[in-house]
Amino acid sequence: MNTRVSSRLGEWLVLYSLSLFTALLLSTLLVEATGGDWRAVLNALLDGSIRKPGRWGETISTAAPILLVALGTVIATRAGLVNIGQEGQLYIGAAVGTFIGFLVGGPGALNVVLILGCGALGGGIWAGFAAALKYWRGVPEVLSTLLLVSVASHAVAYGFRWDWLLLAPEADRGNRNQVSEQLPLDNRLPRPNIFGNEIPLTVPISVVITLGVTLVLTRTIWGFRLKILGRNKRTAQRVGVAEGKYGATALLLSGAFAGLAGAFMLTGGGYTFGNYQFVPGFAANIGWTGLLVALVANEKPLAAVPVAVLFAGLRTGSGFVSSTGVESRITDVIAGLLVLSLLIPTALMLLRDQRRFRTNMSERV
Amino acid sequence: MSNLDSRDTGIGAPANPPVPAVALNGITKRFGNVVACESVDLELWPGQIHALLGENGAGKSTLMKILFGLVQPERGTIKIDGHRVQILDPAKAALLGIGMVHQHFSLVDALTVWENVTLGETGRLDANATRARIAGIAERYGLEIDPDLRVGELSVGLRQRVEIIKCLRRDPHIIILDEPTAILSPEESEQLFGALRQMIVTENRTVILVSHKLDEVLRASDEITVMRQGKFVDRFTSATADTPTLARAMVGRDVEMPSGGGALRIRIPDKESAKNSDNLTSSSSPTGSVSSENSPVLCIKDALASGTANAPSLNGFSLKLYSHEIVGVAGAEGNGQTALVDLLSSLLTLVSGTVTVNDTVIPTGKAGAMAQAGIHVIPEDRQGSGLVTDMTVAENLMLNNPLGVTKWGVINRKQRSSLAQQIIAKYNIVCSGPNALLWTISGGNQQRVVLARELASQPKILVAAHPLSGLDISAAEYIKNHLIDAASNGAAVLFISSALEEIFDISQRIAVIHSGRIITETPREETNLESLGLLMGGSPT
Amino acid sequence: MSNLLNPIADILTSETTYLNGALFAAFLAFAATGEWVAERAGTINISIEAMLLNGAFAALLGYNYSGSIIIGLITAVLGAMLVAGIQAEMSHRLFADQFVVGLTLNILVLGLSGFLNNQISPRATLAGRWDVPLLSEIPLVGTALFAQRWPFYLLYPLIPFSWWLVHRSRWGLEARSVGENPHAADLTGINVNKRRRQSIYYAGFTCGLGGAFILFAHVGRFENTIIGGRGFIALAAVIFGGWTLRGSILGCTIFAAALSFRLSIQGLGYNLNSELLQSLPFLLTIVVMAVFAKRVRAPAGLARPFIRHTK
């Protein structure tokens, strides 16, 4: 058995290295073909994500909301659900957090907690629409979550038209329009400075949440039942895992995590995300990125951590790329190619496993 | 093992050419370690309806799938009209003039009749030509149908008619019908056989009829080959054979004596033997009436469930189950067994009727309600509702009751692992350890995982649906012993199977299910294989 | 009352409303037609957005290097079919999850087109306008339907051809059968995954035309946001239309009307809840799905990968 496990691991490594290499090679070729210098791009990426002062702090603080979104996605995927609306759930979460935060305007820390809670609530409600549509009306969650992303952006745009909703009062806006008020200083999460890097509190919280999610999914009955539901609905129904109850909870949680990520960006994101102001386009593709991270991490919360940092690094590095004369969007291309290339080994292994599985079955014919 | 002795029967008919239309030679096919076909020889002659008779799992369907290119044999040769061929897929089979009417239809509900009929052909799509062809076939064989109806709206009988027309459209000279009457009414069957007769008499085609219904085989076919456990058993000419002979050949000679509980292999648990744990192999004592004096553990009353057009669901199904007994539910496939198991697995919601366990009404279709009430199920399709194949053996052993190894909702892995280890040892589950993924172990061992899990918590009620199918003899024996053990320990066991031999082997009471209801219920002592076989096949006792 | 009626009357009598509506609807219809074919064969193509964008960008490149709109049209189709190829091969040969592949492609193409566009700054143009004699003089809708730039007219043969392809050709029959019941189709001797791949390629073809259309007949220059999520509206239109071509085109028209209405109402200086109008395609689709999800039947095999011998 051991040799089998290790040969499997070996195959896995070879396949992954090959695919990753291909993805990076393609990216390199693309840069070279359009007149760029790939070494310069690589240097810029490293500078922007790690090497320059304060950058690795920036990278891991960007990774925090991405990781949260990914964790939520992992929970939904565990239950066999395809939530692809995190971008909208995150946006709504941040919007609800902003709205309630300014509505209540309570004292410092308490208000931060309220904003975070409302962020999670907002994201949860947005995913809740999809859950309700699925379990009451049979609407596939893939489609409803996707469509709700666009609805979210229009709903927020509506919110920005009224100062009783999101829009900052005239006096606070200067010339700019369509922004919310800035969170007062005591309504922000602290960003302690460690070795010249600002690490917002969102980072340790995200790490704790990751460990929590890992434990809940792998060690508790709830996680176990969720997995049964995701892998085999009929068995789940027989052993007492009600699809509606567990599935809806997973979808709500998944949305809540995205919403919380939005609230994180608001209260602890600093300059990277709107500078404590809620602005149009605030979600900034963090939802989509988190979704991709979860897909690459293949349902494993702990694996999502390095992947989230990697994708965050591509993001923070991209700002430095433009200085080399290469369009910074190359990082999006690299991210996309990476994901595609990482899908291939998983798909190949799955295909082989299924084949082996079939020959293993004493099929009834 | 091989039986080529019947070659002369074909040659005996003067109209036949000297070469058989189909000659299968030494066909062997295994699935894992289960032998589906072992050196099977079969010859089929034009102008004849040849019946392939056998119980479920006898290998007849596999043999036909091999001939139709759906399954590849490990050994053996196939000759069509004397030429050796290799049939890699259904398309090749069609080229060779082989058509198959599938037991589970290959029709697309959303398409119309004519679209279904022409599906799979090549060339320009011509609705009118297809309609004309359908009309032609309809007229020739009396299989009338409106080509513009949607298949999803048709009755089962009409759907099969479409399936047959679809098979005939390519003008095959070899036609395989896999259990064609399993879901047909007697009239519909009659019509079907009329059409088949026409095909062979006027057009000299070869027809293979796969069936386990003795009556219809005798009535409709010219020759009969009997298979059992993947092997050729015997060959008969329909004109001279009779039902009892065929039944004996089909179910095996070792239980051929009239059953009155006296057969040596039959072991029946009862309260007395339960006290004596080593008594499993002792012969039975009459028990049929003892248990019925107590109140039933499980009572299903007037269960009505809406089914699809394909599978008759439950239709006034009633059954009582007492502790310390094994009740066998016999019946041809597709008469409501699946719905019954689904019902007891909380997978089916009743339209009307009740399920009561110890006088408590259990809500139907509510997740886990049946399991909560103490109904343990060994489902027919273990990967469907019994197991989660990409979880570990340990996880699968705890699917329904993870609470034993948890504290405040957290699973204690060490405890789970050691508990699993114990169960693995006790039930001889061959695997690399509790953390082996389920798909890495063999089908027989997967079955043991289900069995171990369902038995581990001393079930009050145990439902076993076709638990022996697909297993080799020793594995089957093993599971039988455990079922008997469970009954001895006080469980009420519901044993569902379409193999009469199995049912006779371990049940005390036998109920025959037909069209979604129990049509007879007798103590085993008061019936015998032949009469039950006839009942199952829908013919009067 | 007149407060409300005036703007509506203004809008309904403005040719611009119809012109914009026709442009929006045509763009959606190009995409929806292909998506409809793919969905009938069992795939939900989230990558439709990527196909359209890559189509538009490839059209841009083709025109930039050749100076010919015809060449641009051809490269557009090739570009979109390249995306379709990745989607098709990955989801129906390797059996990677079709949504995952689709999403990744959307992000990849968004990045790639943005990157290349800035790196090489290609130029585009608008195609010439063809006025159909007489028909284009019909009041209000004449200009909208019959006085457009020529790529617009590709839609007129495309829709009936697609209908014929799916409902009257053998290929279409087989594609529908693999979308409805892949196991039965397989038993009948049809290569299920091949048909599914081909149907995705067809979606790539129509999206390529759609991408070329928006570049050459509508916008005239390339921006990264040229599609801007409208691929999803086309996808919604197919669902809205209950997986019929007629319904899908109707969906495109209604959604386009909403979008055009929003533009016009702002153009005429009225203030109205334009966010609601913008969300309308999505909200309507969700409502329609919620009301009809159990009655309108999606192709039974939709979004279920087919691997032989598994259920």
Assess whether B358 and B466 both reside in one domain.
yes
What are the residue ranges of helices labelled H in chain A? 2-33, 38-46, 55-78, 86-104, 108-137, 141-159, 170-173, 202-219, 221-231, 233-239, 243-268, 286-297, 301-321, 330-360
CB atoms within 10 A of CB C224: 16
CA C55 to mean position of chain CA atoms: 11
Q: Which of B310, B311, B450 is nearest to B384 (CA)?
A: B450
Which residue of chain C comes nearest to A363, CA vs CA?
A: C309
Contact C170 B109 (CB under 8 A): no
Task: Report the candidate in B38, B36, B100 with the shortest Cα–Cα distance to residue B67.
Answer: B100
Q: B475-514 pLDDT, tens per residue?
A: 778 888 889 989 998 899 999 987 777 888 889 999 988 8
Asked if residues C149 and C220 have their Cβ atoms less than 8 Å apart, the reply is: no
- In-domain check, residue B503: yes
Q: How many CB pairs under 8 A join B and C?
A: 57
**Banded model confidence at residue A52, pLDDT cuts 50, 70, 90:** confident
Mutate to test the interface with B, among A215, A226, A353, A365 (most CBs of B within 10 A): A365
Reported as a single tens digit per residue, the pLDDT across B360-370 is 999 998 998 99
pLDDT of residue A171: 65
Q: Half-sphere exposure of residue A352, counting CA atoms within 13 Å on the CB side? A: 9
- Give B278-283's long-range contacts (Cβ < 8 A, gap of 24+): B279/B488, B280/B481, B280/B484, B280/B485, B280/B488
**CB C148: neighbour CB atoms within 10 A?**
24
Q: Burial, B62: exposed, middle or buried (Cβ in 10 Å; 0-12, 13-18, 19+)?
A: buried
Q: Is pLDDT of B541 > 60?
A: no
| 3-state per-residue secondary structure call for chain C | CHHHHHHHHHHHCCHHHHHHHHHHHHHHHHHHHHHHHHHHCCCCCCCHHHHHHHHHHHHHHHHHHHCCHHHHHHHHHHHHHHHHHHHHHHHHCCCCCHHHHHHHHHHHHHHHHHHHHHHHCCCCCCCCEEECCCHHHCCCHHHHHHEEEHHHHHHHHHHHHHHHHHHHCHHHHHHHHHHHCHHHHHHCCCCHHHHHHHHHHHHHHHHHHHHHHHHHHHHCCCCCCCCCCHHHHHHHHHHHCCCCHHHHHHHHHHHHHHHHHHHHHHHCCCCCCHHHHHHHHHHHHHHHHHHHCCCCCCCCCCCCCCCCCCC
Q: Are the beta carbons of A343 and C278 separated by less than 8 Å? A: no
In chain A, residues with a C-beta closer than 8 Å to the C-beta of C99 are 82, 84, 142
pLDDT of residue B538: 56
Strand-strand pairing, C147-149 and B375-378: unpaired
In 10 A of CB C65, how many CB atoms? 13
Q: Are residues B505 and B366 in the same domain?
A: yes
Torsion, Cα B149 B150 B156 B157, to 10 degrees, reads 30
Least confident range of B430-434, C29-33, C52-56: B430-434
> Once rounded to an integer, what is the mean pLDDT over residues A29-54?
88
Q: How close is the nearest chain A Cα to the Cα of B527, in Å?
A: 30
| Interface confidence: ipTM more than 0.90 | no
Residue pointed to by tokens 């052909």:
B121
| Among C120, C232, C273, beta carbon nearest to A34 | C120
- Burial zone of B275 (CB within 10 Å; 0-12 exposed, 13-18 middle, 19+ buried): exposed
- CATH code of the domain in which C143 resides: 1.10.3470
- pLDDT computed for residue B329 by the predictor: 92
Q: Chain A residue closest to C302 (CA)?
A: A140
Q: Which residue has the higher pLDDT, B100 or A261?
A: A261
Residues B269 and B312 in one domain: yes
**pLDDT bucket at C272, cuts 50 / 70 / 90:** low
Picking from C169, C174, C183, the nearest residue to B119 by CB comes out as: C174
**Separation CA C279–CA C255 (nearest Å):** 9
Closest CA to B446 of B426, B471, B421, B464: B471
The whole-number pLDDT of residue C35 equals 96
Beta-bridge mates of residue B330: B497, B512
- pLDDT tens-digit profile of B283-319? 343 344 444 457 889 999 999 887 654 445 888 899 9
Candidates C37, C10, C2; CA nearest to C159 is C37
C119 to A82: CB separation less than 8 angstroms, yes or no: no
Residue A7 half-sphere exposure toward CB, CA atoms < 13 A: 4
Contact between chains at C184 and B122 (C-beta distance less than 8 A): no
CA atoms within 13 A of residue C41's CA, in its CB half-sphere: 30
Q: Closest chain A residue to B444 measured between Cα atoms?
A: A362
| Gap between the Cα atoms of A271 and A273, Å rounded | 5
- For testing the chain B interface, which of C180, C187, C296 should be mutated: the one with the most B CBs within 10 Å? C187
For residue C297, is it within any domain? no
Residue A180 per-residue DSSP state: P
pLDDT mean across residues, chain C? 88
Q: Which of A327, A347, A363 sits opposite C118 (nearest CB)?
A: A327
Q: Do A222 and B409 touch (CB under 8 A)?
A: yes
Flag whether pLDDT at A287 surpasses 80.
Answer: yes
Q: Are residues B366 and B500 in the same domain?
A: yes
Instruction: Pull the structure tokens for residue A363.
Output: 């099929």
Mean local confidence (pLDDT), B263-277: 40
Tell me whether residues B388 and A241 touch, CB distance under 8 A.
no
**Strand bridging mode B75-80 / B22-31:** antiparallel
d(CA B23, CA B21): 7
User: Between A and C, how many residue pairs show a Cβ–Cβ distance under 8 A?
Assistant: 150
Q: Judge whether residue B5 has pLDDT over 50.
A: no
In the prediction, which pLDDT does A173 show? 63
Q: State whether C111 and A336 contact (CB < 8 Å).
A: yes
Among the partner residues C86, C112, C279, nearest to A333 by beta-carbon distance:
C112
Residue B430 lies in a domain: yes
B87 vs B106: CA distance, rounded Å: 19
- Which chain A residues in 219-278 lie under 8 Å from chain B, judged by CB atoms? 219-222, 224-225, 227-228, 231-232, 234-243, 245
Chain A residues 332-361 with CB within 8 Å of chain B: 353, 356-357, 359-361
**Cβ-contact C287, A129 below 8 angstroms:** no
Is B190 part of any domain?
no
Q: Give percent of chain A above pLDDT 90.
A: 48
Residue B531 has pLDDT above 50, yes or no: yes
Q: Which residue among C170, C187, C299 sits closest to B102, beta carbon to beta carbon?
A: C187
* Per-residue pLDDT, B273: 41
> Which domain does B530 fall in, by range?
254-279+294-374+461-471+492-541
Token pair of C150, please? 């020529």
Task: Judge whether residue C230 has pLDDT over 80.
Answer: yes
DSSP single-letter state for residue A51? I
Mean pLDDT of A64-83: 95
Angle at B383 between CA A351 and CA B39, to 5 degrees: 80
Longest dimension (CA), chain A: 77
Is residue A24 one of the residues assigned to a domain? no
Q: How many separate domains does chain C show? A: 1
Q: How far is A351 from chain B (nearest CA, A)?
A: 14
Residues C190, B110: C-beta atoms closer than 8 Å: no
User: A: neighbours with 3+ CB pairs under 8 Å?
Assistant: B, C
Q: How far apart are CA C206 and CA C163, in angstroms?
A: 13
* Partner-chain contact B368 A231, CB within 8 Å: no
The answer to whether position A59 is within a domain reads: no
Q: Residues 6 or more apart from C130 whose CB is under 8 A from it?
A: C147, C148, C149, C150, C153
pLDDT for residue B183 is more than 70? no
Specify the pLDDT at position B261. 34
Structure-block tokens of residue B86: 């290799």
| Subunits adjacent to chain B (3 or more Cβ pairs under 8 Å) | A, C
Q: Do A242 and B432 touch (CB under 8 A)?
A: no
CA distances, C34 to each of C163, C174, C197 (Å): 10, 16, 13
Contact criterion met (CB < 8 Å) for A365 and B440: no
Rounding to the nearest 10 degrees, give the CA dihedral for residues C45, C49, C54, C55: 80
Give the residue carrying structure tokens 């009659």. B190
Among candidates B65, B389, B395 on the partner chain, residue whose Cβ is nearest the Cβ of A365: B65
Same domain, B310 and B421: no
- Residues A84, A221 contacting (CB under 8 angstroms): no
Q: Is residue A2 part of a domain?
A: no
Chain C residues whose CB is inside 8 A of the B123 CB are 170
Q: How confident is the model at residue A177 (pLDDT cuts 50, 70, 90)?
A: low
Write out residues 281-310 of C within 8 Å (CB-CB) of B.
297, 299-300
Number of domains chain A is built from: 1
Residue of C176, C188, C194 to mutate, interface with B, max B Cβ within 10 Å: C188
Q: Which domain holds residue C142?
A: 2-292
Angle at A190 between CA A185 and CA A196, to 5 degrees: 115
B534: helix, coil or strand?
Answer: helix
- Out of A144, A351, A363, the one facing C95 most closely (by C-beta) is A351
**Which residues are CB-neighbours of B263 under 8 A, at least 6 positions away?**
B255, B257, B504
CB count in 10 Å sphere of residue B202? 11
pLDDT at B185: 64
- Closest residue in C to B110 (Cα–Cα): C180
Residue B276 is predicted with a pLDDT of 41
Q: Identify the pLDDT of residue B413.
A: 86
Given a contact cutoff of 8 angstroms between Cβ atoms, the answer to whether B434 and B417 are in contact is: yes
The 3-class secondary structure across B372-413, one letter per residue, is: HCCEEEECCCHHHHHCCCCCEHHHHHCCCCHHHHEECCEECH
In C106-145, the residues whose Cβ lies within 8 Å of chain B are none
Which of A238, A245, A249 to mutate against chain B (most B CBs within 10 Å)?
A: A238
Cα–Cα–Cα angle for B123, C208, C300, nearest 5°?
Answer: 55
Secondary structure string (H, E, C) spanning B209-252: EEECCHHHHHHHCCEEEEEECCEEEEEEECCCCCHHHHHHHHHC
Mean pLDDT on A167-173: 72
Give me the torsion for CA of B196, B202, B204, B206, rounded to 10°: 0
* Residues B463 and B329 sit within 8 Å (Cβ to Cβ): no
pLDDT per position as a tens digit, A202-259: 999 999 999 999 999 999 999 999 999 999 898 999 989 999 999 999 999 999 999 9
CB contact under 8 A, A142 and C96: no
The answer to whether the CB atoms of B91 and C189 lie below 8 A apart is yes
pLDDT of residue B409: 83
Q: Are residues B440 and B388 in the same domain?
A: yes
Amino acid identity of residue A170, one-letter, is E
Is the pLDDT confidence value at B281 over 60? Answer: no
Does C181 contact chain B (CB < 8 Å)? Answer: yes
Q: Does B351 touch chain C (CB under 8 A)?
A: no
Give me the amino acid identity at C75: T
Which stretch of DSSP H or E encloses residue B79? strand B75-80
- Between A177-181, B21-25, C159-163, C232-236, the lowest mean confidence (pLDDT) is in A177-181
Contact A266, A94 (CB under 8 A): yes
Q: For residues A334 and A311, what is the distance between their CA atoms, to the nearest angstrom? A: 10
Q: Does C169 touch chain B (CB under 8 A)?
A: yes
Reference B378, options C66, A238, A360; nearest CA is A238
Report CB contact under 8 Å: A240, B368. yes
Is C72 part of a structural domain of the chain? Answer: yes
Chain B residue with minimum CA distance to C308: B70
Q: Which residues of B touch A360 (CB under 8 A)?
A: 32, 439-443
How large a percentage of chain B has pLDDT more than 70? 82
Domain limits for position A163:
68-297
Residue range B326-340: average pLDDT? 85
Higher pLDDT, C2 or A312: A312
Query: Between A8 and C208, whose confidence is greater?
Result: C208
pLDDT band at B161 (very low <50, low <70, confident <90, very high): confident
Spatial separation of the C-alpha atoms in residues A174 and A231, rounded to whole Å: 54
The arithmetic mean of pLDDT across residues B2-31, rounded, is 63
CA distances from A323 to A40, A318, A336, C111 (A): 9, 10, 22, 18
Query: Do A238 and B345 lie within an 8 Å CB cutoff?
Result: yes
B315 φ, ψ (degrees, to nearest 5): -140, 85
Q: Of A84, A137, A348, which is closest to C103 when you measure between CB atoms?
A: A84
**Cβ-based contacts of A139 with chain C (< 8 Å):** 286, 289-290, 293
Chains near C (3 or more Cβ pairs under 8 Å): A, B
- A54 in a structural domain: no
Q: State the pLDDT at residue B122.
A: 84
Higher pLDDT, B469 or B108: B108
